[in-house]
Amino acid sequence: MANELCLDILGTSFTIMADEDEAYLQDILDQYRVAVENTQSISGISDPLNVAVLTGFLLCDEINKMRQRAGEDETRRKGEALEAEQRARNLIARLDQVLEKKTGNG
């Protein structure tokens, strides 16, 4: 079911329709407002179009950095899993050696 969200930001007002929950849409709008305010405070830019463009750019930068970190975390987890598997194989091999000696098969 489509929900309407009225956007009134940077001197521009319009309504969008989305299939997302109303609370979710409001949360996204609130996050964007905070991002716009941060952009204005760190850049000193006051032109609404420039602020909107720079905010979009900064948000894309943040998304890419998060994806990069997530990829690095995934690579690290895979490495840790392989290391744990190798340690387990080494322990099994040692146990096999000990058991073979005790049973006289070695």
In this predicted model, what pLDDT tens digit does every residue of 64-102 receive, in sequence order? 999 999 988 888 888 899 899 998 988 888 888 888 887
- pLDDT band with cut points at 50, 70 and 90 for residue 104: confident
pLDDT at 93: 87
pLDDT at 65: 95
pLDDT at 103: 79
Query: Which residue do the tokens 């179009």 mark?
Result: 49
pLDDT at 106: 57
Phi, psi of 47 (to 5 degrees): -65, 120
The 10 Å Cβ neighbour count of residue 23 is: 9
Provide the sign of the torsion angle of the four alpha carbons 61, 62, 68, 72, taken in this order.
Answer: positive
Nearest alpha carbon to residue 22 among 4, 46, 38, 37: 4
pLDDT digits (tens, 9 = 90+) for 7-64: 999 999 999 999 999 899 999 999 999 999 999 999 999 999 999 999 999 999 999 9
The 10 Å Cβ neighbour count of residue 7 is: 14
Q: Which tokens is 81 given? A: 């899993």
Distance CA(46)–CA(1), nearest Å, equals: 37
